[in-house]
């Protein structure tokens, strides 16, 4: 059995876009280990899907949030469904740090998370959907009772 940091699980697209992960033939993912941390107490995964296809996300956000009242201490954000690979939105995480959980701050963080997006004509809607998904996930995490 081997351990792979999640950041190393997905491969860059490169010349082999059909090979998505670093898993070898016959390997299975048995578990994900999430470290104990204050930001892990309020965490969730939100998946937005088309009603006709419940398997694939049009947009998704995995968030973990540590609050001091209404102020963000720390957060973790991973996004999926809008790109070939999931990605961590570190700039958005940094933007939220020390800020109040309000609409303006969430909108700024969501804009930062998708600043590098390069949509095509047929999937441009996913950028706005991704932003809204992220903001909804953060609001839901913030409202969780500990």
20-54 tens-digit pLDDT: 889 999 999 999 888 888 888 899 999 998 876 66
pLDDT at 34: 81
Domain ranges (residues) in the chain: 38-142
pLDDT at 52: 67
The pTM for the full model equals 0.87
Tell me if 79 sits within 8 A of 87, measured CB to CB. yes
Report the alpha-carbon angle 39-43-44, nearest 5.
Answer: 160
pLDDT at 70: 94
Residues of the chain under the 70 pLDDT cut: 52-54
Q: Interhelix angle for 103-113 vs 125-142, to 10°?
A: 130
pLDDT at 131: 97
pLDDT at 50: 83
| Domain 38-142 in this protein, CATH class | alpha beta
């Amino acid at each position: 059995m081997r351990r792979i940091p999640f950041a190393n699980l997905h491969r860059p697209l490169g010349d082999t876009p059909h090979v998505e992960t670093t898993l070898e033939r016959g390997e299975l993912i048995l578990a994900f280990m999430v470290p104990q941390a204050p930001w892990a107490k309020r965490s969730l995964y939100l998946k937005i899907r088309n009603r006709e296809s419940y398997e694939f996300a049009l947009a998704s956000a995995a968030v973990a949030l540590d609050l001091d009242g209404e102020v963000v201490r720390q957060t973790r954000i991973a996004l999926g469904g809008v790109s070939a690979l999931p990605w961590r939105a570190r700039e958005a995480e940094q933007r939220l740090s020390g800020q109040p959980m309000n609409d303006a701050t969430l909108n700024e963080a969501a804009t930062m998370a998708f600043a590098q997006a390069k949509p095509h004509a047929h999937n441009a809607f996913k950028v706005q959907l991704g932003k809204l998904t992220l903001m909804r996930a953060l609001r839901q995490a913030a409202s969780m009772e500990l």
